[in-house]
C-alpha cells in the first residue's frame, strides 16, 4: 500500500513530440511536478509546461551513448518521491508500450509510493496519421500488432513469432527497428510475406518529420543502405495506403 505521507510518481506519456498532442492530464502533471526525469525523445515541447523551479533530469537512452541504467533511473525516481516530491517520469509515446514501465511501476510499489500512469499518443498511431493511412481496414487487416525489433544486446530478438509477423492480414508496427529491420524483412519474406507488401518508415516524429514509403523490400533496402539518423517507426501491411510522403 502506498504511503500518503511521501511523494507521488506519475509515468507520463509525452506522445510523439508534437506539443498539441500532449493530453490535458499530461500537461497538468507536468505543471504540478517538482522533479521531471525525462527521456531524450520526450524532451522539447513537453518540458515547456514544467515550472521554472522544478528540477529537470535527463535519463534518456540512446544507442551507442552512455546513459543511466534502468536500475539507477528507478532508484532516482523513488528517492525523490521519498523526499516528498511530486515526480514525473516523462516518456515518449505511451508509457505502457516498450518503455520498461513495468520495472518502474514495480520499483514504486515496492517502495510503498503511489504511482499513476498517464497515457500518451503512441508513435505508431502518430506515424500512421503523418502518412495519412489507417492501420486497420475492413476485410483487409483483421489484426494490429506492435513489436520491438531490438533486444538488449542491440540485435534482432530471436523469439519473434515470425508466422504472426508474416500474416498478410495483419498490420505490424515495428518499434526500435531501423538497425534490425532488414534482417527481419528477410525472415518475413522466407516465411511467405509477399515482397510487394506496402511499408513505410517515419523518422523524427514531432520535429523535422520525414517519411519514406514503398514495398517492404524497398524499405528494408533503404534502411540497410542509408539508415536515417533519427528515431523511426516502421509500419507494414496491406491496410496501408499512402497519401502523404
Nearest to 41, CA basis, from 94, 87, 80: 94
**Residue 6: per-residue pLDDT:** 79
Active-site residue, selected from the candidate residues 28, 40, 61, 187: 61
For the chain, percent helix, then strand, then coil, each to nearest 5? 30, 25, 45
1 in catalytic set: no
Q: Is 241 part of any domain?
A: no
| Residue 147 C-beta-side C-alpha neighbours within 13 Å | 27
Active-site residue, selected from the candidate residues 39, 77, 178, 233: 39
Task: For residue 136, give the CATH number of its domain.
Answer: 3.30.950.10
The 10s digit of each residue's pLDDT in 232-244 is 999 999 998 754 4
**Residue 80: per-residue pLDDT:** 97
Nearest to 90, CA basis, from 143, 126, 48, 41: 41
187 in catalytic set: no
| Residue 136 C-beta-side C-alpha neighbours within 13 Å | 6
Q: Is 33 part of any domain?
A: yes
Task: Please tell me the total number of residues recorded for the chain in this structure.
Answer: 245
Verify that 130 and 152 share a domain, yes or no. yes
Is 78 in contact with 105 (CB distance < 8 Å)? no
102 in catalytic set: no
Can you read off the three cell numbers belonging to residue 30?
Answer: 507536468
Q: Is 244 part of any domain?
A: no
Q: What is the DSSP letter of 195?
A: T
The backbone torsions φ and ψ at residue 185, rounded to the nearest 5 degrees and listed phi first, read -60, -40
* Whether the predicted pLDDT of 20 surpasses 80: yes
The backbone torsions φ and ψ at residue 190, rounded to the nearest 5 degrees and listed phi first, read -65, -25
Return the H-helix or E-strand segment holding 189.
helix 181-190
Dist. CA 102–CA 233, nearest whole Å: 22
Q: How far is CA 141 from the centre of its chain?
A: 22
Q: Is 2 part of any domain?
A: no
Domain membership of residue 50 as a residue range: 8-118
**Residue 61: per-residue pLDDT:** 64
Residue 33: pLDDT band (50, 70, 90) is very high
The proportion of the chain whose per-residue pLDDT surpasses 70, expressed as a percent, equals 93
Verify that 23 and 127 share a domain, yes or no. no
Mean pLDDT lowest among 21-35, 43-57, 182-196: 43-57
Active-site residue, selected from the candidate residues 34, 77, 176, 233: 176
- Residue 25, SS3 per DSSP: helix
**Residue 178: per-residue pLDDT:** 93
**Residue 42: per-residue pLDDT:** 72
Residue 3: pLDDT band (50, 70, 90) is low
The 10s digit of each residue's pLDDT in 75-122 is 999 999 999 999 999 999 999 999 899 999 999 999 999 999 999 999
Q: Is 242 part of any domain?
A: no
* Residue written as grid cell 525525462: 38
Mean pLDDT lowest among 69-73, 185-189, 241-245: 241-245
End of a domain among 118, 136, 153? 118
Amino acid at each position: 500500500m502506498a504511503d500518503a505521507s511521501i511523494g507521488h510518481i506519475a509515468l507520463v506519456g509525452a506522445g510523439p513530440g508534437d506539443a498539441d498532442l500532449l493530453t490535458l492530464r499530461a500537461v497538468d502533471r507536468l505543471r504540478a511536478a517538482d522533479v521531471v526525469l525525462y527521456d531524450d525523445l520526450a524532451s522539447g515541447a513537453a518540458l515547456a509546461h514544467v515550472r521554472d523551479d522544478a528540477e529537470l533530469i535527463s535519463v534518456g537512452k540512446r544507442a551507442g551513448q552512455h546513459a543511466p541504467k534502468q536500475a539507477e533511473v528507478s532508484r532516482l525516481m523513488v528517492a525523490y518521491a521519498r523526499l516528498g516530491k511530486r515526480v514525473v517520469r516523462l516518456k515518449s509515446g505511451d508509457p505502457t508500450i516498450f518503455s520498461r514501465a513495468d520495472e518502474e511501476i514495480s520499483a514504486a510499489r515496492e517502495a510503498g509510493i503511489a504511482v499513476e500512469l498517464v497515457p500518451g499518443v503512441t508513435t505508431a498511431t502518430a506515424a500512421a496519421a503523418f502518412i495519412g493511412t489507417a492501420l486497420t481496414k475492413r476485410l483487409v487487416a483483421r489484426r494490429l500488432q506492435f513489436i520491438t525489433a531490438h533486444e538488449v544486446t542491440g540485435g534482432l530478438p530471436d523469439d519473434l513469432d515470425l508466422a504472426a509477423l508474416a500474416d498478410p492480414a495483419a498490420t505490424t508496427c515495428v518499434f526500435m527497428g531501423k538497425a534490425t529491420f532488414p534482417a527481419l524483412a528477410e525472415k518475413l519474406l522466407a516465411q511467405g510475406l509477399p515482397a510487394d507488401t506496402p511499408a513505410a518508415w517515419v523518422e523524427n516524429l514531432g520535429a523535422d518529420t520525414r517519411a519514406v514509403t514503398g514495398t517492404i523490400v524497398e524499405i528494408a533496402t533503404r534502411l540497410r543502405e542509408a539508415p536515417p539518423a533519427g528515431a523511426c517507426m516502421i509500419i507494414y501491411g496491406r491496410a496501408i495506403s499512402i497519401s502523404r510522403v
